[in-house]
Amino acid sequence: DAKTTQPNSMESNEEEPVHLPCNHSTISGTDYIHWYRQLPSQGPEYVIHGLTSNVNNRMASLAIAEDRKSSTLILHRATLRDAAVYYCILRDGFGGGSNYKLTFGKGTLLTVNP
């Protein structure tokens, strides 16, 4: 599986934007970039995913570099409830059934200060 690299931890202040980076230099052309997060004492939850173009949803935005070797998850206004571990994951769009196996790295622990 193609690997991703994320900072171990990041800190932000409440109501400020947060940019969480992810490097995936060995990404293949069919890999989608997915982000999940895990709030304390909960299972992971889906945040957003994209292939080439930047994506927005109600939770966050995903900015993908032109060469696709890196991406950034953007939380526009961090709240205390956004404190979580954020995981960047690659999933092969043509992997068929095998893409139902998610490979999690260590993720980035986001701390949000009031």
Partner 1 sequence: KAGVTQTPRYLIKTRGQQVTLSCSPISGHRSVSWYQQTPGQGLQFLFEYFSETQRNKGNFPGRFSGRQFSNSRSEMNVSTLELGDSALYLCASSLVTSGGLNEQFFGPGTRLTVL
Q: Which is nearer to partner 1, 5 or 113 (CB)?
A: 5
Whole-number minimum distance, CB 5 to partner 1, in Å? 14
Q: In terms of CB distance, is 7 or 105 closer to partner 1? A: 105
- Residue corresponding to tokens 């490097």: 23
CA 46/CA 23 separation, integer angstroms? 19
Q: How far is the CB of 105 from partner 1 (least distance, A)?
A: 7
List alpha helices for the chain, DSSP H. Answer: none
| Alpha carbon 101 to chain centroid, angstroms | 16
Q: How far is the CB of 37 from partner 1 (least distance, A)?
A: 11
Say how far apart CA 62 and CA 70 lie, in whole Å.
Answer: 11
**Using CB under 8 A as the criterion, which residues of the chain lie in contact with partner 1 when the complex forms?**
32, 34, 36, 41-46, 49, 87, 91, 93, 97-107
Residue (31 or 82) nearer to partner 1, CB: 31
Q: Are 15 and 76 in contact (CB under 8 A)?
A: no
Which helix (DSSP H) or strand (DSSP E) does residue 13 occupy? strand 9-13
Q: Minimum CB separation from partner 1 for residue 21, in Å?
A: 19
Q: With respect to partner 1, which residue has the nearer C-beta, 40 or 114?
A: 40
